[in-house]
Amino acid sequence: MVTKSRSDLPAATAAGTPLRTFSRYPVVTLRVDAAGLNRLQLQTGVVSVTEDVPVPPVLAQSVPLIGGDKTRTEGLTGAGTAVAVLDTGVARTHPFLTGRVVAEACFSPSDAEYGASSLCPSGEDEQEGTGAADTDQGPCAVAPLNCAHGTHVAGIAAGNGANVSGAPPAGVAPGANVVAIQVFSRFGTDEFCGTGASPCVLSFTSAQLSGLEKVLELKESGVPLVAANLSLGSGRYTADCGETDLRGPVIEDLLAEGVATVIAAGNDGYNDAVAAPACVSSAITVGSTTDEDGVSTFSNRGALLDLMAPGTGIVSSVPGAKWASMNGTSMAAPHVTGAFAVLRQKFPAKSVDELLTLMKSTGRPITNGSAVTPRLQLDAAALGSTPEEPDPEDPKGQWSRFFINSNKYKIPDPGKVDSPLPVTGIKGSGPVYLHIWVYVVHTWVGDLKIELVAPNGTIYNLQNPSPSDATSLSEVYRVNASKLTTVNGTWKLRATDAYKGDTGTISSWSMDIPFYENTDEYAIPDSGVVEAPITVTGWFPGNAYDDVTIGVDIDHTWCGDLQIDLVAPNGSVSKLLLPDPTDDGDGISKTFWVDARQFPANGTWKLRVKDVTAGDVGTLRSWWLKF
């Protein structure tokens, strides 16, 4: 029941037996008989009366599909943020989530008339603190009750598989922390679970409201929450329900505090409707796609949908330190929840609405009925076609130049198709190695030959046809491009289907070019030294290559005064140019090569320019480094 204000609650509460109250909203849960219900409907100050109906959950190719492996490579992991998972609890010691569950709460009402009992490990209807939402404790740990859903959702949003045997590489935001909130109860009868389905877990609306209140409280206390995930719901709504749904006001308040409430659209297959609370307009409503970017047959859709994300055949964590595949908009929603963590790390000043707009504007359009909804493409949202310029206060360089084509290209059966990728702004000849990431979906991957075509027509073979019966290909290839005079121009990824009978698409591909540049100007002191840094981060786990290229652009009134050195991250010095008293030129624009196999690639490289003779001055205009 909802009243106009909290001052109206005492009179309204007298109509029945209070079951649950809330700390800040004019809402109370009552048990009333017919007379009490009539009294509430006639009472001044009562806005609405609804039944507290229990609802069910709405159930390691998906992360690469949305570009999450790319953002992870670029150091965008959601570090410094937290996401809340309001669900069936979380196995807090699961190796995919170990050490990351930073707060827990349980709101699990028991009700004899519903045959409902609490899932809180303490046995009480409410519990807070360490272990309060742990599915490895209390009733959730007892078979055959299935509380795996919340652990699976948390793993998609924020799992980290580093050094974990058999694990997926990572969820979307493996650096984010998790706030686990149990909002489900145990139901023991087929009346609510369905014939032959008891016991089951269902969630009261009142428990969800309590959980959302707790998220707001934690956010106000300083927990860096960026999103709350609700993969649950029921009903059929074609229009905004925010004014009538009990959860609407707290979802609005969370939005005002910078927390996105991300909600699964529901699994009823409606073409024009979603479930509640996904129908609240201030929530982020997420539908499900397949790996082939089709709309999942079960997914609700329509005008209320904000985004789509992969939700078919998603492998993630489940209790017992195990892994399982699940389907549902429940699996799609946490991809978006994790994306909010990654984008908050990248763009700390942007609002929830601005981040949502960014995801929508960079997403891949998916046609669903008469509507078109963007499917999350996180790398495009976070990185764009090329990484943003580093902050002026930070060292220059940082990331490889990154180019991506996320458009889909159908592969003829048989036949070939090219996916083009324009590259600009790279100085000098080709690097020793390019890194090419390819994501192709095909009903028989073994039919395919994959090639990379350079702007000058040079063809690099990436993969030949094989006996593989896989249905998708997600691989990174290393290509030696050092013989190219330039990498600028239009590259093409070519997929050739050599055999008839199977179909597919080039879903997306990208190119990382290890080119780093510092375009700041540095005055060269007369009879002094200046150093210009370039920081390298990204693809290079070990030492650099034997053919590192350095480009230098200097103005100086007597170039023969200058000595130029390259300083590696470990302090090793390579001499590029020695002083020459006979060189009276006023500019240096040269390319140098260094065997850097003994130097670590990652770290800060420096170009050191020393003026060895008094009487002349100049400027280091820019320099670049390419592996």
Q: How many helices (H) and strands (E) does the chain have?
A: 11, 40
What is the rounded distance in angstroms from the CA atom of residue 331 to the CA atom of residue 340? 15
Q: Residue 476's pLDDT band (boundaries 50, 70, 90)?
A: confident
> H helices of 233-350, where?
248-256, 329-346
502 close to 442: Cβ distance less than 8 angstroms? yes
- Among 532, 508, 495, smallest CA distance to 623 is for 532
What is the rounded distance in angstroms from the CA atom of residue 306 to the CA atom of residue 375? 9
Q: Does residue 452 surpass a pLDDT of 50?
A: yes
Coil/strand/helix, residue 321: coil
Determine the straight-line distance between the first and last CA of the chain, rounded to whole angstroms.
Answer: 65
- Specify the amino acid at residue 258: G
Residue 387: per-residue pLDDT: 37
As to burial, measured by CB atoms within 10 angstroms (0-12 exposed, 13-18 middle, 19+ buried), residue 503 is middle
- Between the alpha carbon of residue 513 and those of residues 64, 331, 424, 434, the distances in Å are 19, 33, 11, 5
| Average confidence (pLDDT) over 74-95 | 94
Residue 393: per-residue pLDDT: 47
- Specify the amino acid at residue 392: P
66 close to 378: Cβ distance less than 8 angstroms? yes
What is the rounded distance in angstroms from the CA atom of residue 234 to the CA atom of residue 276? 6
87 is catalytic: yes
Q: Residue 234's pLDDT band (boundaries 50, 70, 90)?
A: confident
| Average confidence (pLDDT) over 345-366 | 90
| Average confidence (pLDDT) over 429-457 | 89
Task: Please spell the DSSP secondary structure of 513-538, one letter per residue.
Answer: E-EEEE---EEE-TT-EEEEEEEEES
- At residue 513, what are phi and psi to the nearest 5 degrees? -110, 120
Per-residue model confidence as pLDDT tens digits over 318-346? 998 888 888 899 999 999 999 999 999 99
What is the rounded distance in angstroms from the CA atom of residue 585 to the CA atom of residue 537? 36
Q: Which of 161-165, 248-252, 321-325, 430-434 has the highest mean pLDDT?
A: 248-252
Q: Does residue 24 surpass a pLDDT of 70?
A: no
Is the pTM above the cut of 0.85?
no
Per-residue model confidence as pLDDT tens digits over 126-183? 999 999 999 999 999 976 778 999 999 999 999 998 877 777 788 999 999 999 999 9
- Between the alpha carbon of residue 473 and those of residues 408, 438, 440, 493, the distances in Å are 14, 7, 5, 14
| Average confidence (pLDDT) over 519-527 | 92
Coil/strand/helix, residue 278: coil
Range with the poorest average pLDDT among 49-53, 218-222, 234-238, 592-596: 49-53
| Average confidence (pLDDT) over 535-561 | 84
What is the rounded distance in angstroms from the CA atom of residue 488 to the CA atom of residue 427? 8
Range with the poorest average pLDDT among 225-229, 365-369, 532-536, 573-577: 365-369
Contacts of 11 (CB under 8 A, 6+ apart): 43, 45
Tell the residue number behind the tokens 């070019």, with chain if given: 513
Q: What are the start and end residues of each CATH 2.60.120.260 domain in the chain? A: 401-513, 516-626
What is 516-626's CATH topology?
Jelly Rolls (2.60.120)
Domain 62-383 has CATH 3.40.50.200: yes
- Among 90, 13, 119, 109, smallest CA distance to 52 is for 109
What is the rounded distance in angstroms from the CA atom of residue 377 to the CA atom of residue 258? 22
Residue 71: per-residue pLDDT: 87
440 bridge partner residues: 473, 506
- Among 176, 229, 181, 140, smallest CA distance to 68 is for 176
- Among 264, 241, 312, smallest CA distance to 48 is for 241
In this structure, the number of other CB atoms found within 10 A of the CB of residue 388 comes to 12
Q: Does residue 542 surpass a pLDDT of 90?
A: no
What is the rounded distance in angstroms from the CA atom of residue 109 to the CA atom of residue 603? 54
Taking all residues of the chain, what is their mean pLDDT, rounded to a whole number? 87
Q: Which of 9-13, 187-191, 208-212, 614-618 has the highest mean pLDDT?
A: 208-212
- Between the alpha carbon of residue 429 and those of residues 402, 481, 485, 587, the distances in Å are 17, 8, 4, 21
- Specify the amino acid at residue 51: E
Among residues 69, 87, 134, 497, the one annotated as catalytic is 87
Task: Please spell the DSSP secondary structure of 400-445, one letter per residue.
Answer: -EEEEE---EEEPSSEEEEEEEEE----SS--S-EEEEEEEEES-G
Long-range contacts of 189-197 (CB under 8 A, 24+ apart): 189/115, 191/115, 192/54, 192/114, 192/115, 192/116
Among residues 62, 231, 330, 474, the one annotated as catalytic is 330
For strand 307-310 and strand 284-289, is the pairing parallel, antiparallel, or unpaired?
A: parallel
What is the rounded distance in angstroms from the CA atom of residue 281 to the CA atom of residue 303? 11
67 versus 125: the higher-pLDDT residue is 125
410 bridge partner residues: 505
What is the rounded distance in angstroms from the CA atom of residue 218 to the CA atom of residue 210? 12
210 close to 118: Cβ distance less than 8 angstroms? no
As to burial, measured by CB atoms within 10 angstroms (0-12 exposed, 13-18 middle, 19+ buried), residue 130 is exposed
What is the rounded distance in angstroms from the CA atom of residue 307 to the CA atom of residue 376? 7
Residue 189: per-residue pLDDT: 87
Coil/strand/helix, residue 237: strand
606 close to 623: Cβ distance less than 8 angstroms? no
Q: What are the start and end residues of each CATH 3.40.50.200 domain in the chain? A: 62-383
Per-residue model confidence as pLDDT tens digits over 386-424? 334 344 444 565 667 778 787 889 999 999 999 999 988
190 close to 209: Cβ distance less than 8 angstroms? no
Tell the residue number behind the tokens 């240096």, with chain if given: 588
Count how many Cα atoms sit within 13 Å of the Cα of residue 560 in the half-sphere of its side chain: 7
| Average confidence (pLDDT) over 365-391 | 71
Q: Residue 28's pLDDT band (boundaries 50, 70, 90)?
A: low
Q: If you classify domain 401-513 with CATH, what class do you get?
A: mainly beta
Tell the residue number behind the tokens 């009823």, with chain if given: 268
Please give the radius of gyration of the chain, using alpha carbons only, rounded to the nearest integer: 29
Per-residue model confidence as pLDDT tens digits over 184-223? 999 998 888 888 888 899 999 999 999 999 999 999 999 9
Among residues 62, 111, 149, 474, the one annotated as catalytic is 149
Q: Does residue 3 surpass a pLDDT of 50?
A: yes
Tell the residue number behind the tokens 């490579």, with chain if given: 73
| Average confidence (pLDDT) over 272-286 | 94
In this structure, the number of other CB atoms found within 10 A of the CB of residue 525 comes to 13
- By residue count, the chain amounts to 627
Tokens for 410, please give them: 């159908």
What is the rounded distance in angstroms from the CA atom of residue 481 to the CA atom of residue 465? 23
296 versus 7: the higher-pLDDT residue is 296
Tokens for 2, please give them: 């909802």
Residue 385: per-residue pLDDT: 45
497 close to 605: Cβ distance less than 8 angstroms? no
pLDDT cut 90: percent of the chain above it:
52
What is the rounded distance in angstroms from the CA atom of residue 49 to the CA atom of residue 2? 7
